[in-house]
Amino acid sequence: MKPKTILYVEDNEFNRKIVRQLLAQTNYRLREATDGEMGIAAAQQEPPDLILMDVQLPKITGLEATRRLRSDPRTATIPIIVITSYALSGDAQKAKDAGATGYLAKPYSPRDLLARIREILPEQ
């Protein structure tokens, strides 16, 4: 059975490394993009099973990228977890309004992130 694919859209290398190490111990396959436009293109070219989307991204924000993915029939149903370090009141609602499936504030425990991923996308 083919491993499920997660696309992580994050411009910070340190954050990508943490998720890379976390998912290396699982059956998930990780793909990465470093800005909103690359994230959209990667999702459209080879739709993943789940997207982890940072909010603060170069070129276009994660919320705008989420809105664009939701409006494209190829990517409209992919679960998206929005991750932000700006956990202000109302951010969870903004993420939901953009079409996010879930929301996680930084700093988060890698264990919490993995639990959230497995909730939405059970491992094979």
Q: % helix / strand / coil in the chain, to the nearest 5? A: 40, 20, 40
What are the backbone angles phi and psi of residue 52, rounded to the nearest 5°?
A: -100, 120
Q: Which domains does the chain have, with CATH numbers?
A: 5-120 (3.40.50.2300)
Q: Between the CA of residue 124 and those of 5, 8, 70, 107, what are the distances in Å?
A: 11, 19, 26, 28
SS3 104: strand
29-59 confidence digits (pLDDT tens): 999 999 999 999 999 999 999 999 999 899 9
Q: What is the signed CA dihedral for 43, 52, 34, 32, rounded to 10 degrees?
A: -70
Asked whether residue 20 carries a pLDDT value surpassing 80, the answer given is yes
Structure tokens of 90? Answer: 């109302």
According to the model, what pLDDT value does residue 84 have? 82
68-120 confidence digits (pLDDT tens): 999 999 999 999 999 887 666 677 888 899 999 998 988 888 999 999 999 99
